[in-house]
Structure 1
Amino acid sequence: MEPLNHLESFVQSAEGGSFSAAARRLGLTPAAVSKNVARLEARLGVRLFQRSTRRLTLTEAGERFLAQVGGALATLQEAVAGLAQDDGQPSGTLKVSMGQAFGREHVLPFMGDFLARYPGIVPDWHFDNQQVDLIGEGFDAAIGGGIALSPGVVARELARIHVVAVAAPAYLAGRALPVHPAELAGFDVLLRRSSPTGRLRPWTLRHASGDETMVDLPQRPRAIFNDPEAIAQAALLGLGVAMLPMPFVERGLRSGALVRLLPEWHQDSGAVWIYYPSKKLLPPKTRVFVDFVLARFREARFAQRMQVD
């Protein structure tokens, strides 16, 4: 087995993108880190990095080796550092990324039960609507959608998410309800601007029979937001009709604060997943968190609640 310091130097250099970054994390000099990596390469008989004066890039062999040893090294480091409690309970800092509104509404409520069961774990939860580099940024897990399944990342589906048309009862008072998506153009509409592209997101709806149609949206919408939570709040305030994913409107629909329009029509926006590194020796803190989330979402029938068919 390779010396632990050689493997640490390799993993930290890969995650930090340079020997200097790895040296700062490990408390070594860049020369010492470079020497450790060179010795590892000599022992393995392969080049793990492409080196230049400006950057450090993993070779194909280096990427495979990182995926294989990264998780095992993290587990060994926890054992060496004595992070496991005397009673064998999982422990350590648990770094998780999740969407802001989704995390507050659907994940944060069970933190108390999770901590009661695993008091040795310290949640370090990042509420951010931006996608993260799970391995490169050192996250133990992430909850959301659209994260690239790069080598070394596993995804477990929590639910398929449907998008529906909604409005507040006060806004709908005195108005005839639409019977076809084309009629939505005659209402005040609350549109969403995509943060990555800056474009307005179109409204496409699928009927229960399978037919699809795109709504011809008005030239002058009532308002435009780049945040679905803000759109949901605007709809609750009676400002107009919105097309929103079920996680943002389910509570309002249950309470009657929102009304679903066109009940036979919806849009499929993909799935929400829990992501975590693919490691043969997954740290106990990550393993119990993933299992806990899957169990809670299953018990709450989250997948069924997010679909309207």
Structure 2
Amino acid sequence: MATDRMEALSNLESFVRSAEQHSFSAAARLLALTPAAVSRNVAQLEKNLGVQLFQRSTRKLLLTEAGEQFLQAVRGNLTGIQTAIADISQNAGQPAGTLRLSLSPGFGLEHILPLMPEFLARYPAVRLDWQLSNRQVHLVEEGFDAAIGGGIELAPGVIARRLAPVHVIWVAAPELLHERGYPSHPSELSQWPAVQMRSPQSGKLHQYGFKGPAGETVTPILNARFIADDPDALTRAALLRMGVAALAMPHAVAHLQSGRLVRVLPDWYADLGSINLYFSSHPAGAGLMPAKTRVFVDYLVAEFGRLQLAARFRQEFPVPS
């Protein structure tokens, strides 16, 4: 009897994920199943309900009218059922299961990964599954439990917790500054070789408005000699003396402290908002958030406070001149 109930739940999950992804193959990747298994689960659900839920074609899955109505009825309830099963069946309600997290490669490896051994030691029944990417994800639609970054849409059921500011500063290799001297105003940077970020989302070059000590805001026109859609590539290029770079403090601070990069125009910076921890919660309230997500959020916020990372990522953080 319990097996039948679990099979019914698996069939429901296959249906919901297939409807969200418009594809059995995409749903299978999320569920760690084969496309054939997902297709069988959906077919079994249709047989049990006595209705057709999808119009199938070689290109895309389309919901029937009955399928659309059924999806709206079961989608929210499925999350609550899965949460309850995971929390009760694994370690008597203790945090357990796979926690899927999206975050940028450089920031994640430099600042978040070193915190994870202690987290896993505290919660041995939790498994971390990371997607390292600079793109902005759709948390709920893509099946993530949490994401770290900025600019993610706060869709229904998504909560943002501020971790630190995003302050962008100008940096360059000391050898480049020895060759060219120090600029006194951002407008002079148009005469310098530069490395510049391209947005992974829009494909446009990043152009930041830098605030000066007198309240002036300047957006320099750069002579970009190297363009990349990854901030770690820009950091590496700056270290190789390829040009002046506008870097967010999390990418720059360690190199500033080591002296491998030097801050240029130290009275100027751009404020791009904040680094946030995004996580999904059950629509009925945070009390039904999976235990694995709740403890991850609490742990990461506490560690950012203990290590004073928010202060470390502020543009006024003291570094050698």
C-alpha distance in 1 between matches for 2:73 and 2:262: 51
C-alpha distance in 2 between matches for 1:215 and 1:299: 37
8 Å Cα contact 2:134-2:230 kept in structure 1: no
The answer to whether structure 1 residue 225 and structure 2 residue 228 are counterparts is: yes
Q: Secondary structure at the match of 1:90?
A: coil
Structure 1 match to 2:319: none
For structure 2, the 5+ residue unaligned runs are 29-34, 317-321
C-alpha distance in 2 between matches for 1:161 and 1:198: 21
Q: 1:27 to 1:227 in 2, by over 3 A?
A: closer
C-alpha distance in 1 between matches for 2:153 and 2:217: 28
Cα deviation 1:114-155 (Å, max 9, x = unaligned): 111111211112212222222222221111122221112111
Structure 2 match to 1:56: 63
Residue in structure 2 matching 1:13, options 15, 27, 34? 15
Q: Secondary structure at the match of 1:173?
A: helix
Count of matched residue pairs: 292
The answer to whether structure 1 residue 289 and structure 2 residue 296 are counterparts is: yes
Q: Secondary structure at the match of 2:91?
A: coil
Cα deviation 1:12-41 (Å, max 9, x = unaligned): 4232216966895668543432356679xx
Structure 1 match to 2:261: 258
C-alpha distance in 2 between matches for 1:19 and 1:168: 48
Q: CA deviation at 1:242?
A: 0.5
Q: 1:212 to 1:61 in 2, by over 3 A?
A: farther
Residue in structure 1 matching 2:168, options 163, 176, 194? 163
Q: CA deviation at 1:267?
A: 0.9
Residue in structure 1 matching 2:122, options 92, 105, 117? 117
Q: Which amino acid aligns with 1:85?
A: N
C-alpha distance in 2 between matches for 1:63 and 1:107: 36
C-alpha distance in 2 between matches for 1:129 and 1:214: 24
Structure 1 stretch 98-107 or stretch 207-216: which is displaced more?
A: 207-216
Cα deviation 1:169-195 (Å, max 9, x = unaligned): 111114331111111112221122223
The answer to whether structure 1 residue 130 and structure 2 residue 135 are counterparts is: yes
The answer to whether structure 1 residue 215 and structure 2 residue 227 are counterparts is: no
8 Å Cα contact 2:12-2:42 kept in structure 1: no
Structure 2 match to 1:98: 103
Q: Which amino acid aligns with 1:15?
A: R
C-alpha distance in 1 between matches for 2:69 and 2:304: 37
Q: Secondary structure at the match of 1:32?
A: helix
8 Å Cα contact 1:190-1:241 kept in structure 2: yes
Q: Which amino acid aligns with 1:290?
A: V
Question: Runs of 4+ in structure 1 displaced over 4 angstroms?
Answer: 3-11, 18-29, 35-39, 49-54, 57-65
Structure 2 match to 1:107: 112
Q: Which amino acid aligns with 1:305?
A: R
C-alpha distance in 1 between matches for 2:245 and 2:94: 46
C-alpha distance in 2 between matches for 1:141 and 1:247: 20
Q: CA deviation at 1:245?
A: 1.0
Q: Secondary structure at the match of 1:250?
A: helix
Q: CA deviation at 1:100?
A: 0.6
The answer to whether structure 1 residue 183 and structure 2 residue 183 are counterparts is: no
Residue in structure 1 matching 2:274, options 268, 271, 276? 271
TM-score by length of 2: 0.79
C-alpha distance in 2 between matches for 1:19 and 1:228: 33
**Bigger share in helix:** 2
Q: 1:35 to 1:60 in 2, by over 3 A?
A: closer
Q: 1:90 to 1:197 in 2, by over 3 A?
A: closer
For structure 1, the 5+ residue unaligned runs are 40-48
State, as a whole percentage, how many aligned pairs show the same letter: 39
8 Å Cα contact 2:11-2:42 kept in structure 1: no
Cα deviation 1:226-271 (Å, max 9, x = unaligned): 2211110111122221011111101111222111111111112222
C-alpha distance in 1 between matches for 2:222 and 2:9: 56
Report the RMSD for the aligned CA atoms in angstroms: 3.0
Residue in structure 2 matching 1:235, options 223, 234, 238? 238
Q: 1:36 to 1:296 in 2, by over 3 A?
A: farther
Structure 2 match to 1:301: 308
